[in-house]
Amino acid sequence: MNSSSNKAINKPYPWKLAVYPLLELTFFIAANLADNLFLSFFLILLAGVFLSFSIHVFFHECVHARAEYPLAVNIIHTLFLGLPFDGYRVHHYNHHTYSNSAHDFSTTWQQKNGKKTAFKPCQYAFGWLRQLSRAIHEAEPFSQSLGDVAKIKARIEPQKIALFLFCILLAFIGLKTFVLYFALVYFGWAFSALHNYGQHPPLEEEQICTFAGKTYNLVTFNNGLHWEHHNKPGLSWDQLELDEKSERIKLPHLLQPCFS
């Protein structure tokens, strides 16, 4: 695949897809307002599920739509993600450059004793900080055709500062709010990793899988068409069409690793 075809171009801001960050925020607020500890935890898990779809639908489209956003937009994105938005950009450009091969930060397999060994789904999902560590320490994470690495990384610094100040604010609001935000971010990215595991199962080949369910793709803005997205990353979500050549799975990506 020609990595230059992954390069972000100026497209309309994907307002329609913002339903997922709004649902994430709604359930986060509901978890804070709930008096029952178990209800709060259940609601924060739901918020985490919607964070996962925010990542895979809304912020994913934002990355592909434009190579750069104003500082205020970057900060808002960052607070919803719980991690710097342009850090996610670096991670996703890397993913498109290497697509589950050895240099992909999010690869679903590892070299163990000289052999390609699959991560177990739970190990992969709850160990997502491993991906983050690889991304932080990688000097050349993706093809230069996708953008200026130094320029993108420079934008991460004010996003990190904004996130730090936001966490301090949450701590002043209350310990519960701070802990729930931490839980939202951790579980949200764990669900996101599990989602990626379903899109890129650790097979001998670096296989990319599509879920073709019509109702699912209507609700998730064609998020199931993952093979099609990798094949034509320059297309917006509403331009993607199911390709007869795509490798299919029977369940949505987030569920497939749990039942395969």
Q: What is the pLDDT of residues 76-85, one digit of tens each?
A: 999 999 999 9
Would you say residue 33 lies in a domain? yes
Decide which of 223 and 138 is more confident. Answer: 223
Beta bridge partners of 116: 111
Task: Quote the domain boundaries for residue 142.
Answer: 3-205
Q: Cα(first)–Cα(last) distance of the chain, in Å?
A: 28
- Residue 115 above 80 pLDDT? yes
Would you say residue 215 lies in a domain? no
Would you say residue 252 lies in a domain? no
Would you say residue 253 lies in a domain? no
| pLDDT at res. 8 | 57
Q: pTM for the complete prediction?
A: 0.93
What span, in angstroms and rounded, lies between the C-alpha atoms of 105 and 93?
10
| pLDDT at res. 4 | 41
Percent of the chain with pLDDT over 70: 95
70-103 pLDDT tens trace: 999 999 999 999 999 999 999 999 999 889 988 8
What span, in angstroms and rounded, lies between the C-alpha atoms of 197 and 121?
7
| pLDDT at res. 69 | 97
| pLDDT at res. 130 | 86
Count the domains in the chain: 1
Q: What is the mean pLDDT of residues 11-38?
A: 96
- Residue 231 above 90 pLDDT? yes
Would you say residue 123 lies in a domain? yes
Would you say residue 229 lies in a domain? no
Would you say residue 222 lies in a domain? no
- Residue 160 above 60 pLDDT? yes
Residue 73 CA to its chain's centroid (Å): 17
Return phi, psi of residue 248, to 5°. Answer: -105, 150
Residue 195 — pLDDT band, cuts 50, 70, 90? very high
Would you say residue 250 lies in a domain? no
